[in-house]
Every structure is written in structure tokens, then in C-alpha cells.
Amino acid sequence: MSLKNIILSIFKKIRQFFELILVTILIYMILLIPDVFLFMGDLNQYTWIRLVLNIIAGGLIAYFGYRYLVKQADVVFERLNRKKVGMSVIIFVITWLFLTFGLPAIFGHNPLPGSNQHAIDTIFNHLTNWWTLLLFSFNIVVIAPIVEEVYFRGIMFEEAKPLGRVVQILWPTLMFALVHSPSTLEQWAIYLTAGSVLMVVRVVTKKLQYTIMFHSLHNLVALLS
């Protein structure tokens, strides 16, 4: 390969990485939209309306993300595969055991909740009516996993493909952890572990439906605990 071709190849990779950064910033801004309804103003005012608007915004974001993704690649749904479901459940159990018992043993204590988890706990503590609790739980268990999987292990994963397999796997995993605002080593360990395991499920099953199921189950267990 000539020097000219090498230089052109390097500049091409730089351009592709810059484009990936722009896509990542756009995704981050899009994901902030539903939270506007929850974190602006006093949550005690018009609570159920804010929760409904949060769910609608999240649903629309998931829908348009899905529509964009299916035009790029057939990676979202397939007829349920029992082996893939069983494997996803086994991976989930192992991950839950590690996060529940492994990490506290490594760090010597239970990790303090990050700002993202603290915000969720704050909202949850403000909800007193069963219908507002149900709406918020629906958002956490259904809407949020769909949105995050479509955008991180769907769109971002596919957009990173030109930069090679390593970047394609590591970049969405790192950005997934970063968007959850970890502030300590323990919190980074939690979100990087969760992101890495979800990426394993994504790469092995090749379909987002299994990562969505995994993510929803994880959020449900976390919500119940």
C-alpha cells in the first residue's frame, strides 16, 4: 500500500470516528427529551400528566429510532428462539448474582447509587398514588429498555460498524455507562458490567429483542428490590 493510500485510509477512519461522535451526541440529546417532563419544575404538580407525557415521548423516540434502524439492518426482531431466550436468562442470573454479591465483595461494601439512580429514587419517593406508581414502573420496565437498546445496541452499534468490531462493541458499551452518570469506581463497574453483558447478548443473539427482554427483566428486579 502506498503512502498516499495509507494517509487516505487514516483520514477516512478519522472522519468516520468524528461522524460516530456526532451521532453519539445526537443520541444523547434525543434521550434527554423524555426526562424534561420529569425533572423540570415541581414533580408534585401535575404528576400523572408529566408521567404520561414522559411515556409518550419515550414511545415516540423508540418508534422513530426503530424505523430508522430497520432501514439500516435486520437486527431487531425474529421468531422467538428458545435457546437464545434460555441463554439470555442464564446470563441474566449470573449477572444478577455478580452485581448483587460479587461487586460488594470486591469493593468491600454495597456501591452507593449514582446520580441517575438517585434521581429515579427521588421520583419514586414522590409518587403516592397507585396509578402514578404504575405509570413510572411502566416507563422503567418497558419504555426505557426499548429506547436504550434501540439507540445504544441498535443505532449506535450499527453506526460504529465501519470502525471495526472492537470499536463497534466497546463504544456503545462505554457510552451506555456514561449516560447513566456514574461518579465512583463502583458505579462505573456496575454500568460497564451491565453494558458489557447486554452487548454479549446482542452479539451472540444478533437480535435486539433479547437485549430488550434482558434489560426489562433487570430493571424489573431492580425496581422490586
- Read off the pLDDT of residues 114-169 as tens digits, 9 standing for 90 and up: 667 777 777 877 787 888 889 999 999 999 999 999 999 999 999 999 999 999 99
Is the pLDDT reported for residue 174 higher than 90?
Answer: yes
pLDDT value for 110:
66
Q: Is the pLDDT of residue 223 over 80?
A: yes
Given a contact cutoff of 8 angstroms between Cβ atoms, the answer to whether 99 and 214 are in contact is no
Among the residue ranges 1-15, 30-44, 58-72, 104-118, the one predicted with the least confidence is: 104-118
- Measure the CA dihedral 76/80/82/85, to 10°: 40
Which residues lie closer than 8 Å to 212 by C-beta, 6 or more apart? 145, 146, 149
**Mean pLDDT value of segment 7-22:** 90
pLDDT category at 8 given cuts 50, 70, 90 is confident
Q: What is the pLDDT of residue 79?
A: 87
What confidence score (pLDDT) does residue 211 get?
Answer: 96
Q: What phi and psi, each to the nearest 5 degrees, are found at residue 185?
A: -60, -40
Cell 441463554 sits at which residue?
87
**Does residue 30 surpass a pLDDT of 90?**
yes
Task: Give the range among 45-49, 171-175, 213-217 with minimum mean pLDDT.
Answer: 45-49
47-104: per-residue pLDDT in tens?
A: 888 899 999 999 999 999 999 998 888 888 888 899 999 999 999 999 999 988 898 8
> Alpha-carbon distance 109 to 190, whole Å?
13
